[in-house]
Amino acid sequence: MRLVVLERHTVPTFYMEMVVMSGGLSDPPTQRGLASFTASMLREGTTKRTSKEIAEQVDVLGASLSAGSGLSSFQTNVSASGLVENFDPTLEIFSDVIRNPVFPKDEWEKFKARTLAQWQLQRSQPMFLAQERFQRAAYGDHPAAFIMPPADSLKKVTRDDLLGFHKRHFQPGNAMLAIVGDVTLKDIQGKIEQAFGNWASLIGAGVPKTVIPPAPVPGAAKIFLIDRPASVQTVLQLGNLGITRTDPDYFPLLVMNRILGGGPAARLFLNLREDKGYTYGVGSFFSGSKFRGTWTAFSSVRTEVTDGAMHEFMVEFKRIRDVQVMPEELENAKRALIGSFAMVLERPEGLLQNVLTLKQYELPYDYWDTYPQSVEGVTAADVQRVAKKYVDLAHLQIVAVGDVSKIRSVMAKYGAVELYDADGNRIDAAGAKGQSE
């Protein structure tokens, strides 16, 4: 197991994170969500403690303890934090849930019931529906197409499946422990060795290799409408595939996105909110992993201004592609990004995440040292180049969640339309429902 210690002696606290290099991308195709379920169940009982005892002991220490893994993640993260004076007992609980979970059957059944109820509630949220459909449109059959596991997968997974995933993937050679705070390597190394020193890899059984599937070839531009009759708002999400985290276009795209939709000084905000008054919130963001992430713009607007909002989105998309940004706008975006980066360095958790990103993506060791210079080096020509490449109107996927009877004709101006209900079922032109995708 690799150990990373980052000393930060400004306040008497610590934060630690165990990164297991297996996540949702290690799920069997018929058990999507298995890594996520395993992570969520870690603190529901061990060979030493019940779920209730774990919760009570963490609470008494004033500590935090959490775990999670995404459906398209290549890792599982378990984290804990608290006061340095409580480091030893917190570490003991932390190592216990990582090494000795038993996944009690009764707790697993309660987890499934809670999760299914939560998923049903999520389907009433238009932002969730928009994100769900957008991911399916962008990624097709790729694991990143799912933001929620299929309900059948949750129902079929057994306690033995959780035990099996944990046994195969939670091994020291597949893990990295990172700690930041008011600690020193000299003070804590012995404690870490006591907690994890006899954590042995399975004899003769290596960890299954995680396969990183490539993102699909982008499809033609299309409109996806999700019907919420009588809705007073239309939730819009527009975008397409972007870059991997190590792509050379990362910094130009970072600056371009800041100018277009990355904050209250961005073009989309100034246009749709400040000038037109169509919405309270609008923006854009991009992500990148070991496969191509997405670039996405989003907003919720009043139903009656859906047409105007779509028009202004397209105006801004074309402007960032066709016209070089002005020097002042470019410099303001750079200053904002460098200032935000400096703020991250003030937070211990932010510093640690930078270190983890460096290691997980095998970035150059001086990557963060040269971050301000990399931002500063982006030119107006760079911004226009990546805008033309990633604000890809020929492959733009547009999702609108709202009252289809009022917005269908508006959205049909922008491409071929597919209609869905809130359960994900395709509705044909005659109004008949098909199978959920």
Residues 188 and 234 in one domain: no
Alpha-carbon distance of 378 to 294, in angstroms, equals: 21
Residues 137 and 36 in one domain: yes
pLDDT of residue 101: 97
Residues 379 and 246 in one domain: yes
Residues 188 and 279 in one domain: no
CB atoms within 10 A of CB 25: 23
Residues 234 and 187 in one domain: no
pLDDT tens digits for range 33-86: 999 999 999 999 999 999 999 999 999 999 999 999 999 999 999 999 999 999
**DSSP, residue by residue, 47-60:** SS-BHHHHHHHHHH
Residue with tokens 């299309």: 222
Residue 386 lies in a domain: yes
Residues 273 and 402 in one domain: yes
pLDDT of residue 206: 73
Residues 78 and 163 in one domain: yes
Against a cut of 0.85, is the pTM above it? Answer: yes
Residues 321 and 392 in one domain: yes
Residue 205 lies in a domain: no
Residue 206 lies in a domain: no
Counting the structural domains of the chain, the total is: 2
Residue 406 lies in a domain: yes
Inter-CA distances, 133 with 139, 216, 292, 325, Å? 10, 16, 18, 32
| Buried/exposed 229-246: b ≥16 CB within 10 Å, e otherwise | eebebbbbbbbbbbbbbe
Residue 212 lies in a domain: no
Residues 180 and 250 in one domain: no
Question: Which residues does 292 contact at the CB level (< 8 Å), separation at least 6?
Answer: 214, 215, 241, 242, 243, 244
Instruction: Judge contact between 44 and 100, C-beta under 8 A.
Output: no
Q: Which structural domain, as residue segments, surrounds residue 187?
A: 2-196
- pLDDT of 119 strictly over 60: yes
pLDDT tens digits for range 120-148: 999 999 999 999 999 999 999 999 999 99
Residue 216 lies in a domain: no
pLDDT tens digits for range 5-31: 999 999 999 999 999 999 999 999 899
What CATH number corresponds to the domain at position 59? 3.30.830.10
Residues 179 and 228 in one domain: no
Boundary of a domain, candidates 196, 213, 242: 196
